[in-house]
Amino acid sequence: MSAWGTHTLADIAEALRDGTASARTLFEIAAAAHASDGETLNAYRVWDGEHARERADAADKAFKEGRDAGPLQGIPFSAKDLFGISHLDTYAGSPKVLPDKWSAEGPFIKSVLNQNAVLTGKTHQVEFAFGGLGTNAHWPIPRNPWDAKDARVSGGSSSGAGVSLIEGSALVALGSDTAGSVRVPASMTGTVGLKVTGGRWPLDGIVPLSPTLDTPGILARTVADAALVYEVIDASCAGRDMRDTPEAADLGSVRLGLCETHFWDDCPTDIATVTRQALMISEKGGATMLDAALPEVVQAYELFRQGSVVSSELKAFLESELPDWIETLDPNIAFRMSGAIDIDSGEIDDRRKRMDEMMKSADLRFADYDVLVSPTVPITAPKVKDVEDGKDYSAANLRALKNTCIANILGLCSLTMPIGLDEAGIPVGLQLMAPGNAEDKLLAVALGLEERLGTAWERLGPAPLGA
């Protein structure tokens, strides 16, 4: 982000408070970045420049009057277009505006807005968040900033979120994650993505895909930034700082579990090599690498391939709330939802019961290690032209979500962090997974790894497009 591109949120927050930066100047830098690359990258469904300037000026006025609403005051952020924002329409990736009720702000978005953060706009997404690549038949497809020659997908379903960070038009991006919809775009764009445990944060004010598996999430430029935003949003964090924990300060106390089953199967050599090199550096930094058996992974993936409960819950939601939207569905979305047609309520209840059993069993496996590690996305972000055919799309979509969906099905919390570039020059992410409601441990370990491995701008350098 130009002058602030290699500064953490904590650094920027301090500058806003000591007067060496202003919220208005920070936003104008963001606006200039969007003006420069916005038409190329297509991050936003709507850019909210005028309103953002007003919020930036209000944040500066509050600083001058000694009013400080929290660490995000004056910080530019983007929001996925399934979050209700009172003054903006919500489309959720569909071709027409949703009823007014879906513009009502929920507690998650309010927790950020109430800190006087500066909303830059609503980012593009896969229609009703049902896809891992980031394509959409109704809207311009966000372009992955790491390929200046060919248009590649940026990951979905929060497809514009990571792009907004690399573009430099936002310092934080809010998304949602049902099977990887925060972590996949974060991995493909070289940013950090955090999925919290299901049920930890409220879903009110968010257009649903699958209430059973949906979670709001955070995309940020560094693990330190993600941890700061997590602390702001999560009420349980009052007075605590993950950076002060032993795992963040010293990898010598960190146990990394390596599960060779599933996560590494069919992973391209270049992505596997980058991931294993990062783990070797972590070991040299003191972390202990342990073999991790997690047989529930195979069961979870098989359930995901069957549609788990997602397609059925989306079908039920559309039939109940938005029946007129069904006939205009993106063909890829309609095809995936069609798998729910012959699934009765008894089968859905059985799948939920199986997930509950797998969650309890998987939690017990973490007794011997702190986090499970794997490649986040075991494919290179495809070129848009290579996934235009429905069959090619389906195959790539399944592979993109292969590793991330496990955390959702097993009730884990999870984070991805950038660790390098593959042979095509596209970012590679390292996925960390921890038991449900172990976000503090997850973030502390990730902070320790970032300290050893370096930040995204140190490991990846600048993207060919964007900031």
In a domain, 465, yes or no: no
Residues 128-142 have a mean pLDDT of 98
Mean pLDDT of the chain: 95
Per-residue confidence (pLDDT) for residue 244, from 0 to 100: 66
CA distance 107 to 125: 21
Per-residue confidence (pLDDT) for residue 342, from 0 to 100: 74
In a domain, 317, yes or no: yes
Q: What percent of the chain shows pLDDT beyond 70?
A: 96
Tokens of 385: 């032209």
In a domain, 73, yes or no: yes
Burial class (CB in 10 A: 0-12, 13-18, 19+), 387: buried
Q: How confident is the model at residue 466 (pLDDT cuts 50, 70, 90)?
A: confident
Q: Which of 98, 96, 146, 143 is nearest to 123 (CA)?
A: 143
Residues recognised as catalytic: 80, 157, 181
Residue 443: CATH number of its domain: 3.90.1300.10
Is the distance from CB of 352 to CB of 115 less than 8 angstroms?
Answer: no
What is the extent of the structural domain holding 146? 7-459
Q: How confident is the model at residue 246 (pLDDT cuts 50, 70, 90)?
A: low
Per-residue confidence (pLDDT) for residue 238, from 0 to 100: 57
pLDDT(216) > 80: yes
Tokens of 380: 């290179």
pLDDT for 292-335, tens place per residue? Answer: 989 999 999 999 998 889 999 999 999 999 999 999 999 999 99
Per-residue confidence (pLDDT) for residue 467, from 0 to 100: 66
The bridge status of strand 371-375 relative to strand 255-258 is: parallel
pLDDT for 228-237, tens place per residue? Answer: 999 999 976 6
Per-residue confidence (pLDDT) for residue 183, from 0 to 100: 98
CA distance 439 to 237: 10
The count of structural domains within the chain is 1
In a domain, 1, yes or no: no
How much is the pTM?
0.97
Tokens of 215: 């979670």
Per-residue confidence (pLDDT) for residue 242, from 0 to 100: 63
pLDDT(1) > 50: no
pLDDT for 59-91, tens place per residue? Answer: 999 999 999 999 999 999 999 999 999 999 999
In a domain, 186, yes or no: yes
In a domain, 18, yes or no: yes
In a domain, 2, yes or no: no
Strand partners, 192: 220
The lowest-confidence range among 83-92, 154-163, 249-258, 295-304 is: 249-258
Per-residue confidence (pLDDT) for residue 394, from 0 to 100: 97
Is the distance from CB of 378 to CB of 267 less than 8 angstroms?
Answer: yes
Is the distance from CB of 263 to CB of 294 less than 8 angstroms?
Answer: no
Contacts of residue 36, defined as CB under 8 A and 6 or more positions apart, other chains included, come to: none
**Phi, psi at residue 108, to the nearest 5°?**
-65, -50
In a domain, 45, yes or no: yes
Q: Is the peptide bond before 157 cis (omega within 30 degrees of 0)?
A: yes
